[in-house]
Amino acid sequence: LFTVLDMIGFKEDKYHLSYGMVYLPEGKMKSREGTIVDADNIIEKMQSLAYKEVNKRYPELSENLKKERATSIGMAALAFFILKFNPKSDFVFNPKDSISFEGETGPYIQYCYARIESIITKSKNTIDLNINWDLINHEKELTLVKQLNYFPEILNSVRSNYTIHQIPQYLLTLCQAFNSFYSSCQVLSSDDELEKARLLLIKCVQIVIKIGLQILGIDVLDQM
């Protein structure tokens, strides 16, 4: 494969990142027993599961929009579930678990992004870079700031060590920190200056989520 890439002009340094064994809930895939599942079938199953979830949550959506969201969510679920594991380890891929909007899943990260978009849209204020940073002093806010500060370090580690699973793990931690913050700190506030400060904070979280998902080849959704 590397030779072919060289022949068509891709002469940059290349590295083969191999993965461990992927199991299904039923056990190991075996060609002799007919339990091998090809990628197209898995993708189709993921999109079907995602469609059922979207249809259950948002029955009022048009059919085209349901299918568009199902495609994005299904692919996010598949990619995120696989990429969150250390490539050197074996793991069990469970389609139903991976499609959940809760837990350590791609749809959970997509939902966090969409939730932030909804908060920002509801605000009467626009994002303002000139805020009073002294207002960011709640324990949950400071935890969120610390998590944001880790992102460049994570990217450097991934680039140096080919440890792509660090990005999904980081995004999970960041979204958990955001949800903890949101349950303790009211963003849309009667205090205009405080609202502007918290809007900028969550916008930073949203930007980092988008960058992280883009690196993984996963779409973001403004609504879910």
In the numeric block, which tokens belong to residue 51?
Answer: 């469609």
Residue 27 carries which DSSP code? Answer: B
Q: Map residue 182 onto helix, strand or coil.
A: helix
CATH number at residue 124: 1.10.730.10
**Residue 148: inside a domain, yes or no?**
yes
Single-letter amino acid, residue 201: L
Which range scores top for mean pLDDT: 14-18, 26-30, 135-139?
135-139
Name the residue range of residue 88's domain: 2-216
Average pLDDT, the chain: 92
**Residue 224: inside a domain, yes or no?**
no
Per-residue pLDDT, 31: 47
Res. 173 pLDDT band, cuts 50 70 90: very high
**Residue 175: inside a domain, yes or no?**
yes
**Residue 6: inside a domain, yes or no?**
yes
The answer to whether the CB of 90 falls within 8 A of the CB of 23 is yes
Number of other CB atoms surrounding residue 106 within 10 Å: 31
**Residue 189: inside a domain, yes or no?**
yes
Please compute the mean of the pLDDT values over residues 98-123 and round it to a whole number: 96
Cα angle 159, 74, 210 (rounded to 5 degrees) comes to: 40
**pLDDT tens-digit map of 174-202:** 999 999 999 999 999 889 999 999 999 99
Domain count for the chain: 1
Per-residue pLDDT, 29: 54
**pLDDT tens-digit map of 126-140:** 999 999 999 999 999
**Residue 162: inside a domain, yes or no?**
yes
Q: What is the pTM of this model?
A: 0.88
Residue 164 pLDDT more than 50? Answer: yes
**Residue 121: inside a domain, yes or no?**
yes
The residue with tokens 């568009």 is 68
- Please give the Cα distance from 65 to 44 (Å, whole number): 17
**Residue 76: inside a domain, yes or no?**
yes
Per-residue pLDDT, 140: 98
% residues pLDDT > 90 (the chain): 74
